[in-house]
Chain A
Amino acid sequence: MAAVTLLEAKGLTRRYSGLLAVDDVEFSLEKGEIHAIIGPNGAGKTTLVGMISGRVSPTSGTINFRGEDVTSMSAPERVMAGIVYTFQVTSLFKPLTAAENVRLAVQRRQMTGFAGKLRAGDARVLERVDECLARVGLAGHADRVAAELPYGHQRLLEVAMGLALEPELLILDEPTQGLAPAEIVDFMALVRKVAETATVLIIEHNLKVVLELSERITVMDQGRVIAEGSPDEIERHPAVQRAYLGA
Chain B
Amino acid sequence: MSRPTSDRALILHLAVLATLLLLQLVLPAYHHTNVARIMVYAVLAIGYNVLLGYTGLLSLGHAMFFAAGAYGVGLTVHWLGWGPLAALAAGIVTGLAVSALAAVVLMRTTGVAFLIVTLMLAQAFQLTAQYFKDLTLGDNGIVIADLPPVAFDWSIADPSVKYNLAWLAFAFALLLSLLLVRSPLGRVLVAIRENEPRARMLGYETAHYRVFAIIVSGGLAGLSGALYALLFGYVGTSMASLQNSTLPLLWTLLGGPGTTLGPLIGTGFMFYLVDIASSFTSSYLLLVGLALIALTLWLPKGIAGKLRQRWVPWLP
Contact = CB atoms under 8 A, between A and B. Distances in A.
Chains A and B directly touch (beta carbon < 8 Å): yes
Interface stretch (B106-114, B183-191, B287-295): B183-191
Interface string B200-216: 11111110000000000
Interface residues of B, number: 23
B183 A118 contact: yes
B201 A87 contact: yes
A111 interface: yes
Interface string B177-196: 00100111101101100110
A103 B195 contact: no
Contacts of B3: 122
A91 to B, nearest CB: 5
Contacts of A104: 187-188, 191, 199, 202
B1 interface: yes
B184 A85 contact: no
B8 interface: no
B1 A76 contact: no
Nearest to A114: B185
B198 interface: yes
Contact of A107 (B1, B184, B190, B200): B184
B197 interface: yes
Contacts of B199: 104
A107 B198 contact: no
Given A93-B191, A100-B187, A74 B182 contact: no
B194 A93 contact: yes
A165 B203 contact: yes
Contacts of A100: 1, 187
Interface string A147-161: 000000000000001
Contact of A53 (B182, B191, B201, B206): B201
Contacts of B187: 100, 103-104, 107
Contacts of B194: 93-96
Interface in A92-108: 92-96, 99-100, 103-105, 107-108
B205 A93 contact: no
B203 A80 contact: yes
A22 B185 CA distance: 37
A220 interface: no
Contacts of A77: 205
A74 B198 CA distance: 14
B197 A91 contact: yes
Interface in A117-173: 117-122, 126, 161, 165
Contacts, number: 75
Given A93-B195, A99-B1, A75 B184 contact: no
B179 A118 contact: yes
Contact of B1 (A92, A118, A126): A126
Contacts of B195: 91-94
A61 to B, nearest CB: 21
A161 B185 contact: no
Interface string A80-94: 100011010001111
A52 to B, nearest CB: 12
Nearest to A78: B203
A116 interface: yes
Nearest to A94: B194
Contacts of A85: 201
A77 B1 CA distance: 29
B1 A55 contact: no
A145 to B, nearest CB: 12
Nearest to B3: A122
A46 interface: no
A110 interface: yes
Contacts of A75: 200-201
A84 B205 CA distance: 14
Interface string B1-15: 101000000000000
Given A120-B182, A126-B1, A108 B202 contact: yes
A79 interface: yes
Contacts of B191: 93, 104
A50 to B, nearest CB: 11
Contacts of B205: 74, 76-77
Contacts of B1: 99-100, 126
A117 B185 contact: yes
A165 B198 contact: no
Contact of A121 (B184, B190, B200, B202): B184
A126 B3 CA distance: 12
A77 B195 CA distance: 18
Given A76-B201, A94-B194, 14 more contacts: A53-B201, A55-B201, A79-B201, A79-B202, A87-B201, A99-B1, A100-B1, A100-B187, A103-B187, A104-B187, A107-B184, A108-B204, A118-B183, A165-B203
Closest 9 CB pairs of A and B: A79-B203, A93-B194, A76-B205, A107-B184, A91-B198, A108-B203, A118-B183, A117-B185, A76-B203
14 contacts: A53-B201, A75-B201, A76-B205, A79-B201, A85-B201, A91-B195, A93-B195, A99-B1, A100-B187, A111-B184, A116-B184, A118-B183, A118-B184, A165-B203
